[in-house]
């Protein structure tokens, strides 16, 4: 089955700096890659996703890149703010508009310091 690795497990950046979180996946059939942000005690919230027919997607300060050949994808947050502090999870699935399970990475705790 699919296995998703995520690095680093913790990341501390100063406000205004950029943060990069990297994930690799094992199943070449995976084609949908969402990123979720989870604040303490709250639900995972989708912040951005990318499909395998696209190499990069951007939404304001957040961007995701995908390298299908290498089977890795990354989350980039620019101009970080204290409210970006949370745990970020990458995930992969064989998206086809059907009931495709998400396989999650182990999470990255991002701390944005003043």
Partner 1 sequence: EPEVTQTPSHQVTQMGQEVILRCVPISNHLYFYWYRQILGQKVEFLVSFYNNEISEKSEIFDDQFSVERPDGSNFTLKIRSTKLEDSAMYFCASSEGLAGGPSTRDTQYFGPGTRLTVL
Given the rule CB under 8 A, which residues bind partner 1?
32, 34, 36, 42-46, 49, 51, 89, 91, 93, 95-107
Q: At closest approach, how far in Å is the CB of 18 from partner 1?
A: 24
Q: At closest approach, how far in Å is the CB of 4 from partner 1?
A: 9
Q: How many residues does the chain have?
A: 114
The CA distance from 103 to 16, in Å, is 31
Q: At closest approach, how far in Å is the CB of 97 from partner 1?
A: 4
Instruction: Specify the residue, 15 or 42, whose C-beta has the smaller distance to partner 1.
Output: 42
Q: Is the peptide bond before 103 cis (omega within 30 degrees of 0)?
A: no
Interacting residues of 43 by C-beta distance below 8 A, sequence separation 6+: none
Instruction: Specify the residue, 80 or 103, whose C-beta has the smaller distance to partner 1.
Output: 103
Which helix (DSSP H) or strand (DSSP E) does residue 15 occupy? none
């Amino acid at each position: 089955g699919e296995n998703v690795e995520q690095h680093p497990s913790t990341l501390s950046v100063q406000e205004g700096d950029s943060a990069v979180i990297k994930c690799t996946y094992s199943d070449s059939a995976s084609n949908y890659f969402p990123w979720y942000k989870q604040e303490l005690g709250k639900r995972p919230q989708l912040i951005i996703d990318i499909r395998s027919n696209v190499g990069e997607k951007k939404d304001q300060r957040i961007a995701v890149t995908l390298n299908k050949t290498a089977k890795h994808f990354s989350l980039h947050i620019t101009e970080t703010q204290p409210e970006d502090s949370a745990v970020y999870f990458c995930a992969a699935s064989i998206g086809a508009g059907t009931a495709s399970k998400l396989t999650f990475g182990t999470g990255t705790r991002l701390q944005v310091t003043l």
